[in-house]
Amino acid sequence: MIAVPPARLRRVSAEFLGSGSLTMVVVGSGIAAERLSPDDVGLQLLENAIATALGLFVLIAVLAPVSGAHFNPVVSFVDAALGYRSWRSILPYLPAQVLGCVGGAVLANAMFGLAPITVSSTARVSGPNLLSELVATAGLVLVIFSLARSGRAGWAPAAVGAYIGAAYFFTASTSFANPAITVGRMFSDTFAGIHPASAPGFIAAQLAGGLFGLLLVRLLFPRRLPSERR
């Protein structure tokens, strides 16, 4: 049996917990918003966005010292591409993020008395939505790594939460910007869900957005501070 280094186990566990908690916040607040404001979709989206922004702030603040608080395969890929972590070290993050997101959706369903596993019927693929996912993901990457490369990583919890909260409204797709959470949201037939047939298009757009965001970071912040190297 191969022993897992305790530090690596802690990092992967933090990614699982953070990804699951983030999806629980997104899906759970979406269900609550539907019930609290059944006749006002705009208010539902506002309630969902506020809860997500605040939840992201807390989760990043708590878990960033352990794993970097990626909760997102795109962020992990860019982290490795920019040399902050090795590719080998981030590979275990990916299944932890996806499984965490699925678990978070299941838990949110159960907390609100729904069947724990349901398949979303909400079709979301359209040209504007795919463009929105590309833009939202590129912007997220730029926000995170511009702060890291300019010595302002301490701003990340607030900046990422604020960005995603705003992106709920300035994108047509309501800014999933995360392949793992896209998979997780397939398992909740509620306000925050996405039909499985829509997920591949969203994920492709998110990966393209991650690449574009990486190019922007390299263009605007070509060097990282010595203190940020590890």
Per-residue model confidence (pLDDT) at position 166: 98
d(CA 206, CA 179): 7
**Fold (CATH) for 6-228:** Glycerol uptake facilitator protein (1.20.1080)
- N residues, the chain: 230
Ordered by start, the domain boundaries in the chain are 6-228
Residue 227 — pLDDT band, cuts 50, 70, 90? Answer: very low
Per-residue model confidence (pLDDT) at position 223: 76
- Does position 11 have pLDDT exceeding 90, yes or no? yes
What is the model's pTM? Answer: 0.93
Runs of H (alpha helix) within the chain: 6-36, 41-67, 73-81, 87-90, 93-111, 127-149, 156-170, 179-185, 199-220
Question: Per-residue pLDDT tens for 199-221?
Answer: 999 999 999 999 999 999 999 99
- Does position 226 have pLDDT exceeding 80, yes or no? no
Per-residue model confidence (pLDDT) at position 230: 43
**Nearest 5°: phi and psi at 172?**
-70, -25
CA terminus-to-terminus distance, the chain: 29
**Contact status, residue 177 vs residue 72, Cβ threshold 8 Å:** yes
HSE toward the beta carbon, residue 183, CA cutoff 13 A:
18
For tokens 């916040």, the residue is 25
- Does position 191 have pLDDT exceeding 70, yes or no? yes
Which residues are CB-contacts of 151 (< 8 A; sequence separation ≥ 6)? Answer: 225, 227, 228
